[in-house]
Structure 1
Amino acid sequence: MSQPIRWNVDDPLEHWSKETFLLNAELSELPDALSGESIYETELHWELLNKDKVMQEVATLSSAFALLVNAHYQTSPNDLMLLLNNPNMSLYTIKHRDLVVGSVLVNREGQLEGELIERIYLGKSRPAGHLVPVELCNHLALEAPALQSCARVMRIAVHPLIQGRGIGSSMLTRLRESLCREVDYLATTFGATNELVQFWSQNHFSAVRLGSSRDKASGTYSTTFISPISDQSNEWYEQAFDLYRQSLPFWLRSSAKALSPELAGLLLSQSINHEEAACIHPLVINYAEGGNAFNTVRPFLLPLLQCNELLPLLLVAVIAQEWEWEQAAKHFGFTGRKQTEQAFRQQLKQLIERLQCK
């Protein structure tokens, strides 16, 4: 798309705004060799662009912001204005031989006063600039996250030509090391996709909340991930994760029923309680072998999914998301209910065998 809708072609105000707010910033050109050679940690330079450096190193700022604009459709002029004016917002960059190859935009949140927290707790106030502490306080009834200090990763981006090389993970590790004495926990919110959930989970972040509605632009459900740092944050994090684990099955069969079974299964597998043993009801075993009816065993099926990380997607769709047989048949390519349920019984039997071997 190149034809503007809300202004004329070559509109001077549009050119001015793009130039002023760095929305036309170009990605840095990388040497051809860099796309094929190994990238070592020792070659990466991590840096905080504080307010003084931002004004002095305009080229670095432009390169870092170009990465954010390229990676995130929601990056706007407001992000640049906040970075320049908001003391709670920071921009970190990672360079390879003086070239900016990654950037992270971080917002400091939390450390709120008791009276304000009480209003948040009751849903009477939502102070701007404290997204995660407010969400955890209001939706999970936890006051500690609002009292403590949080660093929320608003945006993270790696140059598209060298993604998948560990640079994003390196930035999160360095961010944690940089802030370990200053904040109690790291956080992030994003529209859930398989790739993003896997990325954040691999970097020691865990889901504590799944949104109840889909984003109108991306069609994804917002998720909140937490990485505790201090001992104090570990205390309430366990509560938050337990609440999430208990609530997830309900969300998957209600407000988040439209999630793909792939993503629903991934979220379920990451909420497993490894200390909880599977309780396999005899009726479930009989059903898997071809006996009795699905509705007879339905109340006993969900616990099986909460004790195993390797979840067959058909089981996730039918058990956790409560899809009708017709919907499952269409999604997985079966001819109808009979063939779908036959496959369901077979996958259930394999899951039972796997659990019995533990």
Structure 2
Amino acid sequence: MNVAALAADLRAAARRSDHRRLLVLAGERDAGVDAAFDAVEGAAIPDEETTIVTTAEGFRFERVAPNHARELLGTTRTAVIYDAHEDFSPNALGRLVGTVDGGGLFVLLAPPLDDWPDRPGSFESSLAVPPYAVDDVGGRFRERLVGTLRDHPGVAIVDVDAGTVERRGDADASAPARSTPSTPPAGTRRFPAAAYEACLTADQSRALHALEALEHSVGGTDGEQRDAEGEADEGRRRAVVVEADRGRGKSSAAGLAAGSLAAAGRDVLVTAPDRRNASDLFSRASELLSALDALGDERSGDGPLRARSGGRIRFAPPAEAAELPDDPDVVLVDEAAALPVRLLSSFLDGPAVAFFTTVHGYEGAGRGFSVRFRDELDGRDHDVTEVTLSEPIRFAPADPVESWAFRALLLDARPPVEALVADASPSSVDYRALSPEELAADEHLLREVFGLLVLAHYRTEPDDLARLLDAPNLRVRVLEHEGHVVSVALLAREGGLDAETRRSMYEGARVRGNMLPDVFTSQLRDEEAGVPVGYRVVRIATHHAARSRGLGSTLLSEVRTEFDGDADYLGVGYGATPDLLSFWESNGYETVHLSTTRNESSGEYSALMLDPLSEVGRALCDRHARWFRDRIGDLLAEHLRDADPDVVRGALAACEAPLSLDLSDYEWRVVVGVAFGPGQYATAPRAFRRLALAALVGAGEEGEDGPDGEPTLTPREERLLVRKVLQTRPADAVADELGYVSARQCLRALGDAYGSLVERYGGTNEVVATERERFGE
């Protein structure tokens, strides 16, 4: 075996095609490390262009710990050595492959390939959530990974224990020619020529030219807005959508656009799920401003990047950016697929916005973004420009290592094509429980299931593929239409924990894979919450071509039927929106908790809901619903003061813990005085809060209507109770939000609403009757 010579041949072939090659060094760790040194030397790769990702220390080139692999995102290396012996994860593998430059080598140190599926590491240990042990974790993902290594072009395998070359990694050494970027003529462009000269592909040039629509929207150098024919186009809003696979330079294009806009004096607001996602954008913008001699004061930390023209580029987290602070001229949204539609819609209120999203990869699902958001975008009065970047930046097209990563990690997984499921309905589908063995044995089925999960949720990532195949606590249930998956639910078994685990959780220990018992026990102080066995709906997704037909509800109904008698409850936790609250309530789930902090990326408060299946589950649900009912009034006045009133209404409506009124005679007199006379709301605020909660908790269920069968309150009146009474907002602010002409009219409407509540709740009370007579009621 001559690893150095093999590595030299691999790199020579890679450089001829401007592709990469993958070298697997399988066997015991020390032998693999020695062979990796030989490979780097044989391939003549300088130490400064090499990174090893490992838990071990003492290397002459850069070392990065596996749990810091994310730090290499956006960097380019000629050789990356990934030690998969101890701390291997699919996510890290996906991140690291993308950092290798064309003509470079990705070196994977692995256990003997025949043994690897049966050698669990730290990642597999993380899948052994209580009450399961590591012996319960499967090896199907590693078995599948080994299979792709052994038959994919461009992958060489060396058995370092036996000293033999198993595969030489032959692949087509030819590659499509790279495109040549171009600069539009001066009369047809608004961005400076230097921005186009910084582009690396024709795709990037084309994307940058499309992004000039943002400058058009906020006015060109002549201060006017013009349409394509040169006519004045004042007030026209514009949106640009840029989609690309990883490594196509979309963030760089965003940075060049941001720098061009700032150089022209524009205020550019940048947002992304994580500040690190925007680092490349800011780097490219800074480089362009420097090249233009337009860079202002040096950027301090995470502060704005300023241009001499007065323009600036600043970052804000998604929830903050959605408020459009300081009225930016342009908003750039990177990794847009990772944000909920509610936030994305807020950015459309600005004069110009661009959305950048990854089509395939663990950062997000561009396809999901387009499906979920396009209806919203098409419904707005925006000129929309769309552009797709397909040519890679770091290497030539048709790179075998990229196609291997896509295949091994299912980065390109898609649900069935629309035509195959377009006619699906609750009457045409079959319910099916899919075992991990079935998924591992049927690549087509696995791709359909995983593709739907990717489409439905931006956080579906390579680690989730391994969980799907190997995690002992997960269950997969689907609806199939004519043999194709049209709806999927991913369930996690939770609870059934022993006394010692419950005690440690109560005292603050985190117990993986038991989200609902964890919150109930550690936060809500219920040490017995870990006793019942439940199944939490981690994800549920229906094909976009068959939505709004009841398939999601059909799937949940089938799940309930299957687990009724085998579990104590079904549960769910999610970022609460009015539509989602309505969906889960309509399927029998009851609110038991609303978080008091917003999710940093989605900007939503999380709701926890339960659907009891047994007496034990009913007891758990009932006591947490009561506790939620009893604390929510105080939370709304403080920690949840900014919650969407329709989220509050939905959460309270789905809480099955009706509030019994205990108003004193004095409080009833004050309430009647406000409703029918000259009373003051502030005289007895507790009474008004109690009545508001009584009206909103369980609303929508039998018994909430008034005597004539009509709803007691209108939706607007319910929002008024939430905003003014429960969240204690000023009357003038509530009036503006809810469309009352003045604070006085708002308070008058509040009195009318309480008049309806007096009718409903005080009809048999003698004090109420007496007070109403005094006001002629």
The alignment's TM-score, normalised by the length of structure 1, stands at: 0.90
Is 1:185 the counterpart of 2:533? The answer is no
Partner of residue 61, structure 1? 446
Provide the rounded CA distance (Å) in 2 between the counterparts of 1:324 and 1:272: 30
Partner of residue 49, structure 1? 434
How far does residue 16 in structure 1 lie from its aligned partner after superposition?
A: 4.6
Provide the rounded CA distance (Å) in 1 between the counterparts of 2:763 and 2:457: 45
Is 1:29 the counterpart of 2:417? The answer is yes
Aligned partner of 2:597 among 210, 213, 230: 213
Query: Residue 142 of structure 1 contacts residue 236 of structure 1 at CA under 8 Å; is this kept in 2?
Result: no
Provide the rounded CA distance (Å) in 2 between the counterparts of 1:153 and 1:65: 16
Gaps spanning 5+ residues in structure 2: where? Answer: 1-241, 244-248, 252-276, 281-388, 700-711, 765-777
CA pair 15-159 structure 1, distance change in 2 beyond 3 A: same
Provide the rounded CA distance (Å) in 2 between the counterparts of 1:14 and 1:253: 52
Q: Structure 1: which amino acid aligns with 2:729?
A: W
Provide the rounded CA distance (Å) in 2 between the counterparts of 1:133 and 1:79: 22
Partner of residue 39, structure 1? 425
Provide the rounded CA distance (Å) in 2 between the counterparts of 1:15 and 1:215: 34
Is 1:339 the counterpart of 2:711? The answer is no
- Root-mean-square deviation (CA, aligned residues, Å) is 2.5
Query: Residue 290 of structure 1 contacts residue 345 of structure 1 at CA under 8 Å; is this kept in 2?
Result: no
Is 1:20 the counterpart of 2:408? The answer is yes
Is 1:316 the counterpart of 2:702? The answer is no
Query: Residue 269 of structure 1 contacts residue 306 of structure 1 at CA under 8 Å; is this kept in 2?
Result: no
Partner of residue 233, structure 1? 617
Is 1:245 the counterpart of 2:600? The answer is no
Q: Structure 2: which amino acid aligns with 1:287?
A: V
Q: Structure 2: which amino acid aligns with 1:187?
A: G
Is 1:131 the counterpart of 2:515? The answer is yes
How far does residue 334 in structure 1 lie from its aligned partner after superposition?
A: 2.9
Provide the rounded CA distance (Å) in 1 between the counterparts of 2:653 and 2:668: 21
CA pair 89-38 structure 1, distance change in 2 beyond 3 A: closer
Provide the rounded CA distance (Å) in 2 between the counterparts of 1:15 and 1:224: 40
Is 1:115 the counterpart of 2:115? The answer is no
How far does residue 290 in structure 1 lie from its aligned partner after superposition?
A: 4.3
Aligned residues: 354
CA pair 292-116 structure 1, distance change in 2 beyond 3 A: same
Is 1:306 the counterpart of 2:712? The answer is no
How far does residue 304 in structure 1 lie from its aligned partner after superposition?
A: 1.2
How far does residue 15 in structure 1 lie from its aligned partner after superposition?
A: 5.5
Partner of residue 534, structure 2? 150
Q: Structure 2: which amino acid aligns with 1:116?
A: T
How far does residue 275 in structure 1 lie from its aligned partner after superposition?
A: 7.4
Query: Residue 434 of structure 2 contacts residue 477 of structure 2 at CA under 8 Å; is this kept in 1?
Result: yes
Query: Residue 133 of structure 1 contacts residue 150 of structure 1 at CA under 8 Å; is this kept in 2?
Result: no
The alignment's TM-score, normalised by the length of structure 2, stands at: 0.43
Partner of residue 559, structure 2? 175
How far does residue 190 in structure 1 lie from its aligned partner after superposition?
A: 0.3
Provide the rounded CA distance (Å) in 2 between the counterparts of 1:145 and 1:87: 21
CA pair 293-73 structure 1, distance change in 2 beyond 3 A: same
Partner of residue 327, structure 2? none
Query: Residue 23 of structure 1 contacts residue 77 of structure 1 at CA under 8 Å; is this kept in 2?
Result: yes
SS, match of residue 259 in structure 1: coil
Gaps spanning 5+ residues in structure 1: where? Answer: none
SS, match of residue 588 in structure 2: coil
How far does residue 306 in structure 1 lie from its aligned partner after superposition?
A: 2.6
Query: Residue 475 of structure 2 contacts residue 491 of structure 2 at CA under 8 Å; is this kept in 1?
Result: yes
Provide the rounded CA distance (Å) in 2 between the counterparts of 1:18 and 1:345: 62
Provide the rounded CA distance (Å) in 2 between the counterparts of 1:191 and 1:153: 13
Q: Structure 1: which amino acid aligns with 2:720?
A: L
Provide the rounded CA distance (Å) in 2 between the counterparts of 1:330 and 1:76: 43
Q: Percent identity?
A: 25
Is 1:97 the counterpart of 2:482? The answer is yes
**Which protein has the bigger helix share?**
1
Query: Residue 184 of structure 1 contacts residue 230 of structure 1 at CA under 8 Å; is this kept in 2?
Result: yes
SS, match of residue 306 in structure 1: helix
Aligned partner of 1:330 among 736, 741, 756: 736
CA pair 38-149 structure 1, distance change in 2 beyond 3 A: closer
Query: Residue 149 of structure 1 contacts residue 185 of structure 1 at CA under 8 Å; is this kept in 2?
Result: yes
Query: Residue 184 of structure 1 contacts residue 229 of structure 1 at CA under 8 Å; is this kept in 2?
Result: yes
Q: Structure 2: which amino acid aligns with 1:209?
A: H
Provide the rounded CA distance (Å) in 1 between the counterparts of 2:548 and 2:732: 38
CA pair 46-288 structure 1, distance change in 2 beyond 3 A: same
Provide the rounded CA distance (Å) in 2 between the counterparts of 1:289 and 1:331: 25
Provide the rounded CA distance (Å) in 2 between the counterparts of 1:188 and 1:86: 19
Query: Residue 273 of structure 1 contacts residue 307 of structure 1 at CA under 8 Å; is this kept in 2?
Result: no
Provide the rounded CA distance (Å) in 2 between the counterparts of 1:143 and 1:276: 27
Deviates more, 1:188-197 or 1:289-298: 289-298
* Bigger Rg, structure 1 or 2: 2
Provide the rounded CA distance (Å) in 1 between the counterparts of 2:495 and 2:633: 29
